[in-house]
Structure 1
Amino acid sequence: MLVLLPPSEGKAPSAGGAPLKLESLSLPALSEAREAVLGDLVELCAGDEDKAREVLGLSEGLRGEIAKNAELRTAGARPAGQIYTGVLYDALDLASLDTAAKKRAARSLLVFSGLWGAVRVTDRIPSYRCSMGVKLPGVGALGTHWRTPMASALPEAAGDGLVLDLRSSAYASAWKPKGEIAGRTATVRVLHAPTRKVVSHFNKATKGRIVRGLLSSGAAPKGPAQLVEALRDLGYVVEVEPPTGAGKAWSLDVLVTEVH
């Protein structure tokens, strides 16, 4: 099972340890594209702060993120699972998983990123600020920049098993499962049962709890149909929309009655 996650906008501070080693990151097929984005971002943030803030879409209160980006090559790095914070990652709570579940997380979780393309939770990265919606001066729109290298790297990462896609739309733009892979891909919406509306906060929290439940239980669904069974075993109410044709993903709606 491969689980595709969005990053968090906010990040935990970088540690004082060894700096980033791009060549050590997972998915080495993305290395050249990573270097291009990293170089462009560092150059931008080492220059005119106002221009950098405009390009990155940052408020005045986040101006400090620019200086942080300018030092990405020398900043201390930590496992990505410790860098990403926010609602989904708080609910997932990787640090409190038992040893077996942590090993499953290391194998299964892939976090998409405007800067890195995608990383495993064990990959050591510095704290940064660069969303997938950014258009950098050199490489251009990041969603477009990542499509070609992702098309090469992600099918190998997906292997021959289930792909559980929990990304937001901006990050989904960087890679769309196609063909045979799409047929074993499931996307998930979390709906407030009485209104059948998506509410951002508990959508993210529920997705974090879903991933935690799958990792903790040791569930190993081979495909979308088995995923539905595993989620129901975990107590979730799931509605299923099977693919309408070849090359289409499954769509799952998880209905939640309590907003928390």
Structure 2
Amino acid sequence: MLVILPPSETKADGGDGAPLNLASLSFPSATPTRQHLVDAVVALSADLDASRTALGLGKTAIAEVDRNAELWQAPTRPAVERYAGVLYDALDYAGMTKPTQSKARERLLIGSALFGVLGAGDPIPAYRLSAGSKLPGEPTLSATWKPVLREVFAGVDDFIVDLRSGAYQNLGKVDGAVTVTVMTEKPDGSRSVVSHFNKHYKGLVARDLVRTRRTVSDVNGVAAVLADAGQRVELAGPTTIVVFTD
């Protein structure tokens, strides 16, 4: 089983790894596209106004542009430690035991607008590029990544749970992957999709799927793992699970 996480705009600083080496990343068939996009993002960083427009940055976000300018020189750290924020707080990789961290590196993938998809242990620098960014003179990131990620995922011979948001799924969908929807249920029985706690609960889902000792190969297995962990779940289709908030 593999679990694909969304990335996060929030990135941890620093790292003690060597500068970015694309050859060290998982899924080498994506290397030419990664090379092209990293070079394009570095070149864009020379124009502050163009960077703000393309990346959707405010006037005070100069540090984000500086990060992009240093993509080839900056230190790296494992992707699962680079991304931060609500989902990654709930995942709590840092709080896992060493054996569980090893399982996390084996089971977790992370979607990325810049790198397509990464292994959790892949060493990357901090950067700013989201699925909705539009680089000057370039096709949309969806148009750039779809054929590449179609090939990447076609070569993955594992059952996949895809926790990415819609924008990142559109960079390259995984046929047959299980997806998770987070909902709340009111006392009158009415239900609505959750936005505020969506990332938190998906982080808990990822954590439970990393920790399980079950062999999971279908949607029923995923539901059983989450139920064992105390989450309230419901099947909503052949590849969709609903997780309910507390």
TM band (smaller chain)? over 0.9
- Choose which of 213, 219, 225 in structure 2 pairs with 1:224: 219
Percentage of pairs with the same residue? 40
Is the 8 Å Cα contact of residues 25 and 124 (structure 1) preserved in structure 2?
yes
Segment of structure 1 superposing worse, 189-198 or 75-84: 189-198
Query: How far apart are residue 17 of structure 1 and its match?
Result: 4.1
Query: How far apart are residue 66 of structure 1 and its match?
Result: 0.6
In structure 2, how many angstroms separate the alpha carbons of the residues matched to 1:230 and 1:81?
22
In structure 2, how many angstroms separate the alpha carbons of the residues matched to 1:217 and 1:108?
11
Tell me the residue number matched to 1:39.
39
In structure 2, how many angstroms separate the alpha carbons of the residues matched to 1:67 and 1:36?
19
- Choose which of 171, 182, 204 in structure 1 pairs with 2:199: 204
1:174-222 per-position Cα deviation (integer Å, ceiling 9, x unaligned):
11123xxx1xx21101112225223333211111112112222323311
SS in 2 for 1:254: strand
Query: How far apart are residue 124 of structure 1 and its match?
Result: 0.4
Is the 8 Å Cα contact of residues 54 and 134 (structure 2) preserved in structure 1?
yes
Query: How far apart are residue 108 of structure 1 and its match?
Result: 1.2
In structure 1, how many angstroms separate the alpha carbons of the residues matched to 2:128 and 2:33?
17
Segment of structure 1 superposing worse, 167-176 or 9-18: 9-18
Q: Return 5+ residue gaps in structure 2 as ranges.
A: none
- Choose which of 166, 184, 195 in structure 2 pairs with 1:169: 166
Tell me the residue number matched to 2:75.
76
* Structure-to-structure mapping, 1:107-256, within 5 angstroms: 107-157=106-156, 159=157, 161-178=158-175, 182=176, 185-194=177-186, 196-243=191-238, 250-256=239-245
1:12-46 per-position Cα deviation (integer Å, ceiling 9, x unaligned):
11225421111110010100010010011100112
Structure 1's consecutive aligned runs of 4 or more residues displaced over 4 angstroms after TM superposition are: none
In structure 1, how many angstroms separate the alpha carbons of the residues matched to 2:214 and 2:137?
43
Distance 1:107 1:138, change over 3 A: farther
Counterpart amino acid of residue 25 in structure 1: L
Query: How far apart are residue 155 of structure 1 and its match?
Result: 2.2
In structure 1, how many angstroms separate the alpha carbons of the residues matched to 2:4 and 2:169?
9
Is the 8 Å Cα contact of residues 231 and 238 (structure 1) preserved in structure 2?
yes
Structure 1 residue 86 corresponds to structure 2 residue 78: no
Counterpart amino acid of residue 135 in structure 1: K
Q: Return 5+ residue gaps in structure 1 as ranges.
A: 244-249
- The CA RMSD measured in Å over matched residues stands at 1.4
Q: Size of the alignment, in residue pairs?
A: 243
Query: How far apart are residue 61 of structure 1 and its match?
Result: 2.4
* Structure-to-structure mapping, 1:12-23, within 5 angstroms: 12-15=12-15, 17-23=17-23
SS in 2 for 1:60: coil
Distance 1:106 1:17, change over 3 A: closer
Segment of structure 1 superposing worse, 125-134 or 218-227: 218-227
> What TM-score do the two structures reach when normalised by structure 1?
0.89
Query: How far apart are residue 101 of structure 1 and its match?
Result: 1.7
Is the 8 Å Cα contact of residues 22 and 31 (structure 1) preserved in structure 2?
yes
In structure 2, how many angstroms separate the alpha carbons of the residues matched to 1:53 and 1:239?
42
SS in 1 for 2:197: helix
